[in-house]
Amino acid sequence: MTMIEDPRRQLSYLQQCLSSDKKPLGLFLGAGCPMAIRLNGDEKRPLIPDVAGITLIVRDDLAQRPDCEPLLKIVDEHFAKDGRDTPTMEDMLTHIRALRAVVGKDEVRGLSAENLDKLDDTICQLIHRVADKMLPNSETPYHRTACWVDAVRRENPIEIFTTNYDLLMEQAFEDTRVPYFDGFAGVRKPFFDLRAMEEDMLPPRWARLWKLHGSINWYQVADKGVFRRI
């Protein structure tokens, strides 16, 4: 017989954990978080769609472009032949970049290097356009999270992990004047500093923000590393 835990007891445990000043704590923000914020009070329009919603926007736009629509069909044929149903835009980018790594100056599975670069650039531009949004006010869940991070003096920094490309958590931290470290150092041309991440000598008051899938303000320079736009 399966025992059902008392939800109030579990909630109490969670509150104790989150209020502790000694335990290391981490939060994960998934793709559904921006959907909690609606545009202009419209309950049907999230600030940023989830992965399925972004994929639909990307596919619709590609299908309307004369230079991309035939390429989209070829990629769809690849997924169909490989038995992969309903690929997301992230699946598409991974597939395109895997082909680009081996195509050289030839073609692979009906796509040239130029075709693959075109698809990659266009998809990234579309994702950037969808994800490049601002929080509408200072009362959002992101702002509340930032305030919670700064509410208690802790022995260990709060770490926030996210797979999202947007800058909503950054905005909330800056709006509420909460210092944070995202792996980059510098002002004129911030660069990704792996050593700073490994040594982690920053004060515990600084939150750590880890963007697992990258960000709309990151870019890569061949043979030089990853940088952040300001």
What's the whole-number average pLDDT of the chain? Answer: 91
User: Which sequence spans correspond to the domains of the chain?
Assistant: 7-47+134-228, 51-131
Burial status of residue 44 (CB atoms within 10 A of its CB: 0-12, 13-18, 19 or more): exposed
CA distances from 41 to 46, 54, 60, 110, 143 (A): 10, 21, 26, 46, 18
pTM (2 d.p.):
0.86
Q: Provide DSSP, 52-112.
A: HHHHHHHHHHHHT-TTTHHHHHHHHHHHHHTT--S--HHHHHHHHHHHHHHHTTSEETTEE
Choose among 150, 142, 153, 157: nearest CA to 25.
157
φ, ψ of residue 26 in degrees (nearest 5) = -135, 145
Under 8 Å between Cβ of 75 and 84: no
User: How high is the pLDDT of residue 19?
Assistant: 78
C-alpha atoms less than 13 angstroms from C-alpha of 29 in its C-beta half-sphere = 24
**Contact by Cβ (8 Å): 63, 74:** no
Two tokens, residue 202: 């920053």
Which pLDDT score is estimated for 38? 84
Residue 207 pairs in a beta bridge with 180
CA nearest to 182, candidates 140, 226, 152, 147: 226
pLDDT at position 4 is 56
Residue 172: both structure tokens together: 């909330």
Tens of pLDDT along the chain (230 residues) come to 455 567 888 888 777 877 778 888 999 999 889 998 987 766 678 999 999 999 999 999 999 999 999 999 999 999 999 999 899 999 999 999 999 999 998 999 999 999 999 999 999 999 999 999 999 999 999 999 999 999 888 899 999 999 999 999 999 999 999 999 999 999 899 999 988 888 888 899 999 999 999 999 999 898 889 999 98
